[in-house]
Amino acid sequence: MTEERFILDVIEEASAKRRTERRRFMKMAGGAAAAAGGLSLLAACNNDDDRDVPVATPTPTPAAVSEVDVLNFALQLEYLEANFYSYAAFGQPIASTLRSGTGTPGSVQIVSGTTAGQPRAVSFQDPIVAAYAREIAADEIAHVTFLRTALGGSAAAQPAINISGDATGAFTAAARAAGVVGSGATFDPYADDNSFLLGAYLFEDVGVTAYMGGVQLLSTPAYIEAAAGIHAVEAYHAGLVRTVLYRKGLTTASIFTATQQISDARDSLDGTSNTGLLNQGGDRDQGIIGSSSSIANIVPTDSNGIVYVRSPQQVLNIVYLNATSTNGGGFFPAGVNGSVRSS
């Protein structure tokens, strides 16, 4: 009984510590928002049992990028993913109440005078893929909501986003650069199940490496816990998309080719250098098969079985579709909002 009581005490103490950290996270977020001149939705919340937790701003990182900057950068990527999945699953962008904030606000760009390639609901043929699309859309919208609530008045606005599948769309530009389609062809991720999955594949692996890199710039335990939690969800999404693509690739070999081409294109764009403790080298991307189509590569990892890491600048290189330093382009025509915006 003594050993059992000891284990229960440890569990209770750990749970209490996690609750305190979560409350501290929300109060810190409220303090940061107030310091920036805005009122956090959370700053007004006050639990009597937590009055001893001071309101503080997040600790600046060694690279002089604040934790609010890191979370706002994550929010920009979530705007992109949430809008893509929301259109694909529900036929509409995220709610207008989730778009405002600091910086230059923008919307999902719509090409006038045509319906071809417009962001729209996918007419899914596979009910499993449709169900996955709805689930991921809900998760990504929840991420936007969570980050905006935590950041309060410090939340950066949604920037202009290009996720159309017409000739001028970022998806087409990415597909042409990767060789998935010819120089005069278009890539419409809303056209069918496989096209949707390839569009999702383009985003999801980048999101995983982005959160892996971003969490290294955080120092507050509750911020780290929140970022790590979202990172885990993005990894689930990426694994799911890669799994479905692998299954479909067994009967449609061009899918295997397309995923490798997209992987190679991301590698050529990110400007990855051989830095960091993990020493992962310059190639930080992989397709969904190994040495042959009979060998699955659902989880892309380095030789230590660890997921790849990208810095915010390397991520921006990919989403801007530009391997050189720039402030916008590709999926973010005018760039992202926030302090971290140059690739």
Residue 161 per-residue DSSP state: B
At 47, is the pLDDT very low, low, confident or very high (cuts 50, 70, 90)?
very low
Distance between CA atoms of 88 and 189, rounded to whole angstroms?
8
Distance between CA atoms of 125 and 116, rounded to whole angstroms?
19
At 5, is the pLDDT very low, low, confident or very high (cuts 50, 70, 90)?
very low
| Residue range 85-114, pLDDT digits in tens | 999 999 999 999 999 999 999 999 887 666
* Percent of the chain's residues with pLDDT above 90: 65
Q: pTM of the prediction? A: 0.80
Residue spans per domain, the chain? 1-57, 59-319
Q: Where are the alpha helices (DSSP H) in 184-220?
A: 193-214
| Nearest C-alpha neighbor of 38 from the set 112, 102, 105 | 102
Would the pLDDT of 135 be above 60? yes
**pLDDT number for residue 280:** 61
Q: What is the mean pLDDT of the chain?
A: 83
Entry field: residues in the chain: 343
**pLDDT number for residue 291:** 87
| Residue range 11-22, pLDDT digits in tens | 445 445 445 544
Would the pLDDT of 52 be above 60? no
Would the pLDDT of 271 be above 80? no
| Residue range 188-223, pLDDT digits in tens | 999 999 999 999 999 999 999 999 989 889 999 988
Would the pLDDT of 10 be above 60? no
**pLDDT number for residue 28:** 44
Strand, coil or helix: what is 301?
A: strand
Look up residue 288 and give its two tokens.
Answer: 């969904």
**pLDDT number for residue 39:** 29
Would the pLDDT of 164 be above 60? yes
At 26, is the pLDDT very low, low, confident or very high (cuts 50, 70, 90)?
very low
At 273, is the pLDDT very low, low, confident or very high (cuts 50, 70, 90)?
low
